[in-house]
Amino acid sequence: MASLRTIPRRALTSLSIPTRSTYPTRQFLPLQPRTRTQPHQPQIRPYHSTLHPRLPDHEYNNSQTAILSAALHHIPEHGFSSEALTLGARDAGFLDVSVQLFPRAEFDLILFWLASRRGLLRAKVEEGALFRRVADIFGRDVSSYSVEEKCRILVMERLRMNVDIKGQWQGALAQMSLLGHIPLSLTELHALSNDILSLAGDSAVDGSWYSRRLALSAIYASAELVMTRDPTVDLSETEAFVYRRFEDKDALKQKVEGLGQCVSFLGNTAVGAGRSWGLKI
């Protein structure tokens, strides 16, 4: 048998020796062996584990937070848009291309607005200024307010945070009504209702824990829709609506139904937005 040295170079090309390119690339391998030179990379588990909970989908790193925080100041003029994100990136000292850090684009700005307003609401209660200010106006003691009255105060305080961007909020609702955005939108709504009840002093852990949060979510969602059509500067019409919703003795069943009406409204808005974009739906 001839050695490889005696075989012409042309004949070597006909040998069926697997080359490096014939092996599957590493990205298609189901498992990657751990080597000494390769650091171990944690793998995402395809199942739910309480020992390894998944982080929320709208947590941001320092650079993203800086851009989003700066973009909030441009929402009253430019709305929840890519232009507001771009201006925020410039204000924070980043290049315009930095907006690519946000895979959900404008929806990330909406989520950041919702989360930041929840944080601001918690800060006002923890500082003790909110309830004390309202109690001074009506000449009452803070300890005399019931959980329901505190919830009503917190709902109105949260709605007043939308005064400066009230003209842009219908566009935000249209974004939140898109099919892929509804889960995170409802998650934020639940987080807000849970925060309001906790800040109001609701510590009950009975079977009505979920129903109270559903009821409060329905009240807030419906009040938010009223707010977008409220022509008053101080949201007096919205405040009257919120008071009626809390004082209605027969509204317990309607509150849960109201949440379904809100979801239906978001769905109809999504259909309308899709048709405006030329989708055949």
Q: Residue 89 maps to which CATH number?
A: 1.10.10
Q: Does 138 lie in the same domain as 73?
A: no
Q: For the chain, what's the residue count?
A: 281
Q: Does 80 lie in the same domain as 132?
A: no
Q: Does any domain span residue 29?
A: no
Query: DSSP state, 153?
Result: H
| The pLDDT value given to residue 181 | 92
Q: Does 179 lie in the same domain as 112?
A: yes
Q: Does any domain span residue 274?
A: no
Q: Does any domain span residue 236?
A: yes
Q: Does 198 lie in the same domain as 146?
A: yes
Q: Does 72 lie in the same domain as 189?
A: no
Q: Strands of 25-166 (E only): list them.
A: none
Domain hosting residue 63, numbered range:
56-102
Q: Does 144 lie in the same domain as 74?
A: no
> At which of 73, 102, 131 does a domain end?
102
Q: Give the torsion through C-alpha atoms of 218, 277, 172, 197, to 10 deg.
A: 20
- Extract the tokens encoding 192: 């807000």
Q: Does any domain span residue 280?
A: no
Poorest-confidence range of 50-54, 154-158, 166-170, 199-203?
Answer: 50-54
pTM: 0.68
Q: Does any domain span residue 231?
A: yes
> At which of 45, 79, 102 does a domain end?
102
Q: Does 94 lie in the same domain as 129?
A: no
Q: Tell me the pLDDT band of 60, cut-offs 50, 70 and 90.
A: confident
Q: Does 226 lie in the same domain as 92?
A: no
Average pLDDT taken over every residue of the chain: 77
Q: Does 143 lie in the same domain as 117?
A: yes
Nearest-5° angle of CA 203, CA 205, CA 208?
A: 110
Q: Does any domain span residue 279?
A: no
Q: Does 198 lie in the same domain as 68?
A: no
Q: Does 211 lie in the same domain as 156?
A: yes
Q: Tell me the pLDDT band of 90, cut-offs 50, 70 and 90.
A: very high
The total number of structural domains in the chain stands at 2
C-alpha 57/C-alpha 239 separation (Å) is 33
| The pLDDT value given to residue 264 | 56
Q: Does any domain span residue 10?
A: no
Q: Tell me the pLDDT band of 116, cut-offs 50, 70 and 90.
A: very high
**Nearest in space to 185 (alpha carbons), one of 201, 172, 198:** 172
Q: Does any domain span residue 15?
A: no
Backbone phi, psi, residue 49, to 5°: -135, 130
Q: Does 176 lie in the same domain as 81?
A: no
**Nearest in space to 160 (alpha carbons), one of 73, 237, 235:** 235
> At which of 47, 75, 102 does a domain end?
102
